A and B are shown apart, each in its own frame.
Chain A
Amino acid sequence: MNGQAVAFFALAAVGLLGVIGFLRAPRILHAVLALVAAFLAVAGLFVLVGAEFLAAATVLLYAGAITVMAVFAIMLTPGGEEKRGAPRWARGARGWAGLVAAGVGAAVATSVLATPFQRSPYAVDGPTDTALLGTLLLSDRYGLHFEVITLVLLAALVGAIVLAREEAIPVRGGARAPDATPPTPPPAPQKTPAALREPTADGPAPEAPAEREAERELVGAGRGDGR
């Protein structure tokens, strides 16, 4: 058993333990930490196959960015781990999910084992020149992909901001905000005017958009100051 094999088995073991820890940990923060170990192990495997830049990217993106984002989301959504009891359908669902996952894993694994791989004479060992990766990313073909991935990230950025941003309370139906002066901000969301609004014959009472806009901004500013 040479050094490479030892490294592979060590990293695979760490990765496996990390994933199992992620799946089994009762507290979600522990689960995320275990997952970081798995991500780092995969980064190690990338180094082992000569993908050094990719290893660095994995550490930055997965172990860094994604995990931090997840921790933020967990902090912003407390209370999920308190109810330990399984929901009524969960037992069955877990068994079912385990069956599907085991079946898929077994199918892939047996196919891999049954395949007589043949190493191409062109194949090279050793780390890949990162400059080649850069050239490829900006080549005729993959330059287009590079442009498209920026659009994917743009869509994710815009979408995430729209979804996650806390809105100024929209004030509707022409009613005045309860208290529009900044020093005493109105309390947290409550269905003031919207619920009281009388449905009229043809939809909403037409109102000047500018006026509505101004109201919303006042309320928004009030909340902003209050925080």
Chain B
Amino acid sequence: MIWLPEAIVLAGALASLAFGVLGRRSSPRAAMDLALVFTLAALLATAALAGTVVEAFAGAFRIDGVTLSFQLLLLVGTALTLLLAREDVGAPAPATGGAAPSGGVPAEHAGEYAGLLLLAALGGMLIAAAADLLLLFLGFELLSIAGYALVGFRKEDPLSTQAAVKYVLTGATATGVFVFGLSYLIGLTGTTDVYAAGEVIASPGFMERYGRLIFLAFLFLFIGAAYKIAAFPFHLWAPDVYRGAPTPVTMFLAVVSKAAGLALIVRLYLGAFAWTHWVGASGLRESFLLKSGPVVALVSGFSMVLGSVLALRTRDVKRLFAYAGIAHAGYLLVPLAAANPSMLDQIVFYLLAYLLASAGAFAVLRRVTEESGTSDLKAFAGLYHRAPWSAWALLLFFLSLAGIPLTMGFFGKWYLLVGAAWGGHGLLATLIVVTSVMSYAYYFAVLKQAFLRPGSTERPIRFRGAEVAVVLIAAAGVLLGGLLPGEVLRTIAQAFDAAHFFGLYDGRL
């Protein structure tokens, strides 16, 4: 039963949807609790699979280190999202009445809210587990389509529904690009298996003949998938969508969607392309990595710089998270560009740090925007006086996101730097440092409001129980990762015992 975690999440999604239809009269939040229970069960089931490497469904479904670590990340992110979303159900419309980046979803849609969140998470889990090009694509679509609906869940607010339209249109265009690349890859290799496609690409004479088209296919696939992590060419949807979506959904897009998109890129890039070697026409050994590396580096570099520059210019905190997220997508691609033996450890460690710090920051952000009805920087003014502990927690999360020493985020960036230098990408390493310094500036702008500026009111902010829980879990994780980075990294590295992911190239093939 290696597909047990997926089955549990699916059961949870269906149960939540059914609950939404049948159990409406009882507390609407019960649907979220139900979904949370299933998510935690799936988390346990995934953890129980640790260390297994096995395939099912004639090789389309594969459990290995990549699958399990990404699935754990996705499930943790989903559980935190559900905790926050629990407070969203039936929450009042913003005090301002009209368009505002706050406010909850209608209570009668609680079941659909939970169900679609779990379906989206299931899409992400399928991406992580897929060793089949078509299954990767279908998981990608499941995640996207559930996401489109989730963004528009605050139906009374034009910001939310317009964000949904923008998200659908950009996402559909990216899907079109992805499908076109997929069509050449599947058509030319004649197989939908990721690793078998890689094997065909590496077969003698294939690249001489079809190399140009395969490279184009790689470009289309990579650019289409970059949309999901909000990296450069397809990054422009992020600010508007992040702002308009319900805050828990924003967090889901920033954290779970990004992790799933990265799983897609990792499986596709490392499975079918990067590791293929062949003997060229001149008799020399050639590898795809040399051709594709510069493309990945370009996307990564542009994302880092563009995200940071735009983040400096915004005054809206949700948009700031979107721009910062673009920069983080750039960081996350660095290990792939600067390919080195421990690049998967670096990606997962950084993702974990990003996930925890973002989740905590979004929990604080949610309460603050609900209180003030706006997500402008000014909403944070006087936070230190209104809820001191949350201001300190925010400080911790932002220090981690910016990469200040002694936090988990610092070690994440440090590993990226070491990896980039190891892979001989001095320019990327420099960009990491420069954009990190820029990130101090934009994160500090929020902290300045929270600690130094007087608010319009001194009224204390009362956090809801679930929000406190998210903040505490995130803070504990960030501190733990910051104090014991070596232990965390070692645990991650164990999952990526070379035999798990790359063993395919030595043993079975």
Direct contact of A and B (CB under 8 A): yes
Say whether, besides A163-B155, A167-B155, A194-B93, A140 and B161 are in contact (CB < 8 Å).
no
Whether the Cβ atoms of B209 and A115 lie closer than 8 Å is yes
How many B residues touch A, CB cutoff 8 Å? 56
Q: For B209, what are the chain A residues with a Cβ–Cβ distance below 8 Å?
A: 115-118
Q: Judge if A141 is at the interface, Cβ distance under 8 Å.
A: yes
Q: Closest CB of chain B to A95's CB: distance in Å?
A: 18
A interface size (C-beta, 8 A): 47
Is the CB of A191 closer than 8 A to any CB of chain B?
yes
Residues of B within 8 A of A116 (CB): 209
A sample of 19 cross-chain residue pairs with beta-carbon separation below 8 angstroms, ordered by A number, consists of A115-B210, A141-B192, A143-B57, A145-B135, A151-B119, A152-B141, A155-B116, A156-B145, A158-B112, A159-B116, A159-B146, A162-B153, A163-B155, A163-B164, A172-B93, A199-B95, A203-B91, A203-B370, A204-B91
Q: Out of A112, A139, A191, A194, name the residue touching B58 (CB < 8 Å).
A: A139
A145 contacts B132, CB within 8 Å? Answer: yes
Given the complex, which residues of B lie within 8 Å of A87, measured CB to CB? none
What B residues does A172 contact at CB under 8 A? Answer: 92-93
Contact B139 A148 (CB under 8 A): yes
B465 contacts chain A at the CB level, 8 A cutoff: no
Residues of chain A within 8 A of B135, CB atoms compared? 144-145, 148
Please state if B97 and A145 are interface contacts (CB–CB under 8 Å): no
Of B27, B115, B138, B155, the residue contacting A145 (CB under 8 A) is: B138
Label chain B's interface by main secondary structure. helix
Query: Which B residues have a C-beta under 8 Å from some C-beta of A?
Result: 10, 17, 24-25, 27-28, 57-61, 90-93, 95, 97, 106-109, 112, 115-116, 119-120, 122-123, 126, 132, 134-135, 138-139, 141-142, 145-146, 148-150, 152-153, 155-156, 161, 164, 192, 209-210, 212-213, 216, 370, 459, 462
B232, chain A: closest CB distance, angstroms:
14
Contact B90 A209 (CB under 8 A): yes
Is A10's CB within 8 Å of the partner chain B? no
**What residues on B are CB-neighbors of A117 within 8 Å?**
209
Q: How many Å from the CB of A100 to the closest CB on chain B?
A: 10
- Given the complex, which residues of B lie within 8 Å of A148, measured CB to CB? 126, 135, 138-139, 142
Is there an interface contact between A111 and B107, defined as CB atoms closer than 8 Å? no
- Bound-state CA distance A118–B106 (Å) is 58
- Complex Cα gap A145–B91 (Å): 38
Q: Are B146 and A170 in contact (CB under 8 A)?
A: no
